[in-house]
Amino acid sequence: LSIDDVEVLGEALFDFSTVEDLINWLNTLTA
């Protein structure tokens, strides 16, 4: 992960309500 990715992840973590949300987000990174 780049520094930008880590910053986005940090912000996004506050938006995740379920593990499924996290998995879906990670899938968008690797798509």
Coil vs helix vs strand at 10: helix
Kindly write down the DSSP assignment for every residue of the chain, as one continuous string.
--HHHHHHHHHHHTT--SHHHHHHHHHHHH-
Residue 6: predicted pLDDT: 84
Average pLDDT over residues 7-21: 79
- In this predicted structure, the answer to whether residue 14 has a pLDDT above a threshold of 80 is no
Across the chain, mean pLDDT equals: 82
User: What would the mean pLDDT of 6-26 be, rounded to a whole number?
Assistant: 81
In total, the chain counts a number of residues equal to: 31
What pLDDT sits at residue 27? 92
28 pLDDT higher than 80: yes
Calculate the dihedral angle through the C-alpha atoms of 25, 15, 13, 22, rounding to the nearest 10 degrees.
Answer: -30
In the DSSP assignment, the letter for residue 31 is -
Examine the pLDDT at 25 and tell me if it is beyond 80.
yes
